[in-house]
């Protein structure tokens, strides 16, 4: 069932609660990257234009002690948001109580208020991240309608998303809508051929994703550290490469089930040490006993290129090698470039390291969608229902 979008809500004169994702990186009380604040602007500006009274909130970091509170106040975020919106943002340094309630009562149409980090409520027994029903009900009582625009926490049931949505009319904002359209679209109803590319360190982190994508995609390409557990399952020597011994049988099973749908690298960049300056070489087949695989080789890039020809939908999650080291980043860079130049295809990058790689290389505008949520996009690709979206009112 489709979920309501912010465009389906009557916003004029309404107190609109907005769960944003302002979990920005901070250093010494300064925001070091404000992409997430900028990304929230379209939804907030739309509500302002429609005459809604915006009450926006978010979590920031983890709160385990009183000191964590000082470092993780949303106040600097409210200042930056005010600059970006070009209008005042009233900041209330509380997550509940009279000061917050009376400030909300005083809001006019188009005004914006931000309240303090929702995770401050976790100091008293995980009320926010434990989805305490009373807290969700209380926050819901502060508004007339609720808009969830935080995809990064959509895979968790918290008081600030599921708790509120369970009590009042709710909708998704433009950011979450885009994730539903692209990731949800790829998983539920992809234009074919649909090719998935999975990489990263561990098979165990991505079992659910591999299994689900083997069901829904036409091809599943596996690179990165994960590939060596599959190599092992084929009886190959993998030297000192990453191995998850307890996943070798599973890898075997997956390959038997998948047949030629599952594609592995055909060559590997190896080196004796996990070090950028370690002397590397490209090998095909077995990896020498004292070497480890740190990237896919050029023949694998060619093979993957062929498999991608004519693809109409591509989902990519996880680097092809240790891309943090320049000498082992070539495979990941090549895949970024291949996808950026793919014509007539919907190209989607799951959050996390592959999204970072695409952004670092400056290809972000050449992709159809780069997910803003690492964990959430993985669970979405696993075919799981995300509680933060499921709780939103049906259209």
Residue 322 engages ligand AMP in binding (rule: CB under 6 A): yes
* Binding-site member from 31, 84, 123, 201 for ligand AMP (CB under 6 A): 201
Residue 137 engages ligand AMP in binding (rule: CB under 6 A): no
If DSSP states are collapsed to H, E and C, what string results for 121-151? HHHHCCCCCCCCHHHHHHHHHCCCEEEECCH
CA dist., res. 227 & res. 225, Å (int): 5
> Pick the catalytic residue: 3, 15, 19, 36?
36
Residue 342: Cβ within 10 Å count: 21
Give the list of residues 6+ apart from residue 249 with CB closer than 8 angstroms, or none: 233
Binding mask 225-264 for ligand AMP (x = CB under 6 A): x----------------x----------------------
Comparison of 321 and 387: residue with beta carbon closer to ligand AMP? 321
Residue 319 engages ligand AMP in binding (rule: CB under 6 A): yes
Q: Which of 317, 274, 310 is nearest to 295 (CA)?
A: 274
Give least dist CB 300 to ligand AMP, A: 12
Residue 173 engages ligand AMP in binding (rule: CB under 6 A): no
Residue 388 engages ligand AMP in binding (rule: CB under 6 A): no
Comparison of 6 and 296: residue with beta carbon closer to ligand AMP? 296
Cα 305 versus chain centre, distance: 25
CA distances from 147 to 14, 44, 85, 284, 290 (A): 12, 10, 18, 52, 55
Give least dist CB 3 to ligand AMP, A: 28
* Binding-site member from 99, 324, 326, 385 for ligand AMP (CB under 6 A): 324
Residue 326 engages ligand AMP in binding (rule: CB under 6 A): no
Comparison of 163 and 374: residue with beta carbon closer to ligand AMP? 374
Residue 239 falls in the annotated catalytic set: no
Give least dist CB 374 to ligand AMP, A: 8
Residue 321 falls in the annotated catalytic set: no
- Which helix (H) or strand (E) is 306 found in, with range? helix 298-308
Residue 53 falls in the annotated catalytic set: no
Give least dist CB 141 to ligand AMP, A: 39
Residue 265 engages ligand AMP in binding (rule: CB under 6 A): no
Q: Which of 378, 286, 377, 280 is nearest to 331 (CA)?
A: 280
Is the Cβ–Cβ distance between 140 and 164 less than 8 Å? yes
Task: Return the SS3 of 311.
Answer: coil
- What is the bridge-based pairing of β-strands 90-92 and 112-115? parallel
Q: Looking at 2-10, 78-86, 91-99, 196-204, which segment touches ligand AMP (CB under 6 A)?
A: 196-204
Residue number of the CB closest to ligand AMP reads 200
- Which helix (H) or strand (E) is 57 found in, with range? strand 53-57
Residue 352 falls in the annotated catalytic set: yes
CA distances from 370 to 39, 187, 256, 331, 363 (A): 12, 15, 32, 19, 10
Residue 353 engages ligand AMP in binding (rule: CB under 6 A): yes
Residues contributing to the site for ligand AMP (CB under 6 A): 200-202, 205, 224-225, 242, 293-294, 318-319, 321-322, 324, 352-353
**Annotated catalytic sites, by residue?**
36, 202, 352, 375
């Amino acid at each position: 069932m489709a979920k309501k979008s912010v465009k389906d809500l009557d916003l004029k004169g309404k107190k609109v609660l907005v769960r944003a994702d302002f979990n920005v990186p901070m250093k010494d009380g300064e925001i070091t990257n404000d992409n997430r604040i900028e990304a929230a602007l379209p939804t907030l500006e739309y509500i302002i234009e429609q005459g809604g009274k915006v009450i926006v909130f978010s979590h920031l970091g983890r709160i385990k002690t009183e000191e964590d509170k000082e470092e993780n106040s949303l106040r600097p975020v409210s200042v930056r948001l005010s600059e970006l919106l070009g209008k005042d943002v009233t900041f209330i340094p509380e997550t509940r109580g009279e000061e917050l309630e009376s400030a909300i009562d005083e809001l006019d149409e188009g005004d914006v208020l931000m309240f303090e980090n929702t995770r401050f409520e976790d100091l008293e027994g995980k009320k926010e991240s434990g989805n305490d029903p009373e807290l969700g009900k209380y926050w819901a009582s502060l508004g007339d309608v609720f808009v969830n625009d935080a995809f990064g926490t959509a895979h968790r049931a918290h008081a600030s998303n599921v708790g509120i949505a369970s009590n009042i009319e709710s909708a998704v904002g433009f950011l979450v809508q885009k994730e539903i359209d692209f990731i949800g679209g790829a998983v539920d109803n992809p234009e074919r051929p649909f090719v998935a590319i999975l990489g990263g360190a561990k098979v165990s982190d991505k079992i659910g994703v591999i299994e689900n994508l083997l069901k829904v995609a036409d091809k599943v390409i596996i690179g990165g550290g994960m590939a060596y557990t599959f190599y092992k399952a084929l009886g190959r020597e993998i030297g000192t490469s990453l191995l998850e011994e307890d996943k070798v049988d599973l890898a075997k099973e997956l390959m038997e089930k998948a047949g030629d749908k599952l594609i592995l690298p055909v060559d590997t960049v190896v080196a004796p040490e996990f070090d950028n300056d370690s002397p590397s070489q490209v090998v095909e087949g077995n990896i020498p006993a004292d070497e480890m695989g740190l990237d896919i080789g050029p023949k694998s890039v060619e093979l993957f290129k062929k498999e991608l020809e004519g693809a109409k939908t591509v989902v990519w999650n996880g680097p092809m090698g240790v891309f943090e080291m320049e000498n082992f980043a070539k495979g990941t860079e090549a895949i970024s470039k291949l996808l950026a130049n793919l014509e007539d295809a919907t190209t989607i990058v799951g959050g996390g390291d592959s999204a970072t790689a695409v952004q670092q290389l400056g290809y972000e505008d050449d992709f159809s969608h780069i997910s803003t949520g690492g964990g959430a996009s993985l669970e979405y690709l696993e075919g799981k229902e995300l509680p933060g979206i499921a709780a939103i009112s049906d259209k």
